[in-house]
């Protein structure tokens, strides 16, 4: 597994190399000319030089991917002793972007062709889809940009480099990408990932395999331990693994954000606020396409009114129900107050399905589970839709939702939480819950069992336990990018931003 780190360094420049072998060759070429006095200053400032140190352009490359001018090195060396070797604590605040929530203006050099322009837009989209407190917007005005991505041409192993890490609450301002690699003819598969990677450095993230560059580069070691510039982000694993967007070296494949990458970004720039939405609800469901439905608070035949989110308010559609979830196509599956099950077309027409239910969940792959009406240990029977009827699987529960792979996550009548494999086998998970929701990206949230303002505490599954976030509610669902939608005990509706 991987480890995610907000980088805690002074102004520096990161260097993204194509392969470790070329680094070793360059290191050997420059070894003889290494400035011993500069090396002593860097060691005094807390840098680990065992992984590479040599002159580069008008400064020095340190640890293969940190570029420092002599002026910057002198500034580091002159810092008070309490700051040296302690960049983790001293530079933490200044090495993350501040004044949140905030939209960063990002400029893309028009010298890049259409392929890279598209990759740039996709990279910004990946960040913006997470609903962070830090968002990104393309600008054509270089003078107004917080971050500028500029082109240069060099026949070398250099893919690109970024202008360091945040200082004084602002992102590093300059990223440079080599058009020898990134052009309309090469159409490199890693283009979007490299843009996102360099932006990651600019907003304060370190390589996820910084403790062992050999993981992605093929050789190399530790860039420096936690005492010299990296802090583990809670809720993420502590070892490197494949596919993180912040691995040190590219293998020329696209690396969208992994679940741990998303956890890392949300922990550091997670927004941390609930947006109140109009209306009132007694249940909520969000589909894999982002379509959201609620069961309202006004009584009608069958339970309460059914409403679909239109982006600014709720459109009432015919019918009444007490429970709802949403298909990948954005159509509702509902249960009414008599336990009858209906599959809707989104326009108010419903197909009556066999059986009876007390809860319903729909996965991103279209798999549907219900909690039935037959009393069994743990609550009521668990059933999976087979296309024409319901197949009973072992177990009992009172709440259900479904993973992107079509497996159930359930809560029983004692509040115990279980993760199923789809064949009737369940793994007991820690904690207690009153409701559960699973997003199309696999993110899982629960409302817990501890009373707080608004209902019960809200928790996110981190792979081994539940991490509490702010807020309280009684019904929860999760959007396609892993952000929860919540209804509290006053029927108020919220979505996470």
CATH code at position 179: 3.40.390.10
Same domain (yes/no): 440, 344: yes
Examine the fold and report which residue of 248, 269, 290 is the final residue of a domain before the chain moves on.
269
> Does residue 240 share a domain with residue 225?
yes
- Domain shared by 355 and 414, yes or no: yes
Q: Do the domain assignments include residue 298?
A: yes
**For 122, phi and psi rounded to 5 degrees?**
-65, -40
Which is it for the CA torsion 487, 488, 491, 492, positive or negative? negative
- Cα 110 from chain centroid (whole Å): 29
Label the pairing between strands 5-6 and 59-62.
unpaired
Whether residue 54 is contained in a domain is answered as no
Supply the CATH number for residue 341's domain: 2.120.10.30
The answer to the question of residue 68 being in a domain is no
Residues 329 and 243 in one domain: no
- DSSP track, 354-413: EEE-SEEEE-TTS-EEEEEEEEETTEEEEEEE-SSSEEEEEEEESEEEE-TTS-EEEE-T
Q: Are the C-beta atoms of residues 418 and 425 closer than 8 Å to each other?
A: no
Count the domains in the chain: 2
In terms of domains, do 297 and 424 share one? yes
In a domain, 17, yes or no: no
Longest pairwise C-alpha distance within the chain: 85
The burial of 237, by beta-carbon neighbours within 10 Å (0-12 exposed, 13-18 middle, 19 or more buried), is given as: middle
Of 269, 301, 317, which residue is a domain's last? 269
Q: How far apart are the first and last CA of the chain?
A: 27
Are 143 and 226 part of one and the same domain?
yes
CB 448 within 8 A of CB 432: yes
Print pLDDT tens along the chain (497 aa). 333 433 333 333 444 444 333 333 333 334 444 578 888 887 765 565 665 577 867 777 665 556 667 776 775 566 444 333 322 222 233 368 888 778 899 999 999 999 999 999 999 999 987 878 788 999 999 999 999 999 999 898 778 887 777 888 899 888 989 999 999 999 999 999 999 999 998 898 888 865 556 777 775 544 443 333 445 566 666 666 678 998 888 889 999 998 888 888 887 887 657 889 999 999 999 999 999 999 999 999 999 999 999 999 999 999 999 999 999 999 999 999 999 999 999 888 999 999 999 999 999 999 999 999 999 999 999 999 999 999 999 999 999 999 999 999 999 999 999 999 978 899 999 999 999 999 998 989 999 999 999 999 999 887 888 888 888 999 999 999 888 999 999 999 999 87
Query: Which pLDDT score is estimated for 225?
Result: 36
Residues 375, 441: one domain? yes
Q: Do 30 and 38 form a contact (C-beta atoms < 8 A)?
A: no
242 and 343 housed in the same domain: no
User: What are the E-state strand segments in 188-302?
Assistant: 205-206, 274-277, 281-286, 292-300
Domain edge (last residue) among 269, 300, 331 = 269
Map 450-461 to HEC letters.
Answer: EEECCEEEEEEE
Query: Does 224 reside within a domain?
Result: yes
Which residue range forms the structural domain that includes residue 489?
274-496
Instruction: Please tell me whether residues 254 and 302 are part of one structural domain.
Output: no
The C-alpha atoms of residue 121 and residue 138 are separated, in whole angstroms, by 8
Q: Does 40 fall in a domain? A: no
Same domain, 385 and 419: yes
Burial environment of residue 65 by CB neighbours within 10 A (0 to 12, 13 to 18, 19 or more) = buried
Q: Where are the beta strands (DSSP E) in 153-273?
A: 158-162, 174-178, 205-206
264-296 exposure pattern, b = at least 16 Cβ within 10 A, e = fewer: bbbbbbbbeebeebebbbbbbbbbbeebbbbbb
Do 225 and 298 have their domain in common? no
Residue 159 placed within a domain:
yes
CB burial of residue 341 (10 Å; 0-12, 13-18, 19+): buried
CA–CA distance, 454 with 470 (Å, rounded to integer) = 11
- Residues 239 and 138 grouped into a single domain: yes
**For residue 7, how many C-alpha atoms fall within 13 Å in the half-sphere facing its CB?**
32
Residue 66 falls within a domain, yes or no? no
């Amino acid at each position: 597994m991987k480890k995610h780190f907000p980088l805690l360094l002074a102004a520096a420049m990161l260097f993204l190399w194509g392969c470790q072998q070329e680094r070793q060759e360059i290191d050997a070429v420059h070894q003889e000319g290494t400035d011993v006095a500069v090396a002593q200053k860097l060691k005094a400032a807390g840098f680990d030089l065992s992984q590479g140190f040599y002159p580069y352009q008008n400064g020095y490359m340190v640890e293969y991917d940190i570029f420092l001018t002599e002026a910057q090195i002198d500034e580091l060396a002159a810092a008070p002793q309490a700051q040296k070797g302690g960049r983790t604590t001293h530079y933490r605040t200044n090495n993350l972007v501040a004044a949140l929530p905030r939209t960063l203006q990002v400029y893309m050099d028009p010298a890049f062709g259409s392929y890279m322009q598209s990759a740039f837009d996709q990279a910004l989209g990946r960040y913006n889809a997470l609903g962070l407190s830090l968002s990104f917007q393309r600008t054509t005005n270089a003078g107004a940009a917080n971050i500028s991505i500029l082109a240069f041409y060099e026949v070398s192993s250099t893919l690109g480099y970024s202008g360091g890490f945040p200082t004084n609450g602002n992102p590093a301002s300059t990223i440079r990408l080599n058009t020898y690699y990134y052009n309309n003819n090469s159409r490199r598969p890693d283009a979007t990932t490299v843009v996102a990677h360099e932006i990651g450095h600019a907003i304060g993230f370190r390589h996820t395999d910084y403790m062992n560059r050999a993981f992605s580069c093929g050789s190399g070691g530790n860039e420096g331990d936690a005492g010299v510039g990296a802090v583990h982000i809670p809720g993420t694993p502590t070892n490197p693994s494949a596919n993180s967007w912040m691995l040190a070296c590219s293998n020329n494949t696209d690396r969208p954000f992994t679940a741990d990458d998303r956890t890392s970004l949300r922990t550091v720039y997670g927004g941390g606020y609930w947006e109140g939405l109009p209306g009132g609800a007694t249940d909520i469901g969000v589909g894999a396409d982002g379509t959201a439905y609620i069961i309202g608070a006004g009584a009608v035949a069958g339970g309460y009114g059914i409403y679909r989110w239109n982006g600014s308010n709720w459109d009432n559609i015919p019918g009444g129900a007490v429970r709802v979830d949403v298909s990948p196509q954005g159509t509702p599956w509902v249960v009414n107050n008599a336990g009858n099950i209906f599959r809707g077309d989104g326009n108010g027409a419903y197909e009556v399905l066999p059986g009876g239910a007390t809860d319903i969940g729909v996965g991103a792959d279209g798999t549907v589970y219900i909690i039935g009406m037959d009393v069994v240990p743990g609550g009521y029977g668990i059933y999976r839709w087979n296309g024409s009827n319901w197949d009973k699987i072992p177990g009992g529960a009172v709440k259900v939702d479904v993973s992107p792979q079509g497996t159930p996550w359930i809560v029983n009548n004692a509040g115990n939480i279980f993760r199923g494999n789809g064949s009737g086998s369940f793994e007991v998970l820690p904690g207690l819950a009153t409701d559960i929701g699973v997003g199309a990206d696999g993110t899982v949230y629960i409302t817990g069992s501890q009373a707080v303002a608004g209902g019960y505490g809200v928790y996110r599954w981190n792979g081994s336990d539940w991490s509490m976030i702010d807020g309280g509610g009684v019904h929860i669902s999760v959007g396609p990018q892993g952000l929860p939608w919540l209804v509290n005990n006053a029927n108020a509706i919220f979505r996470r931003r």
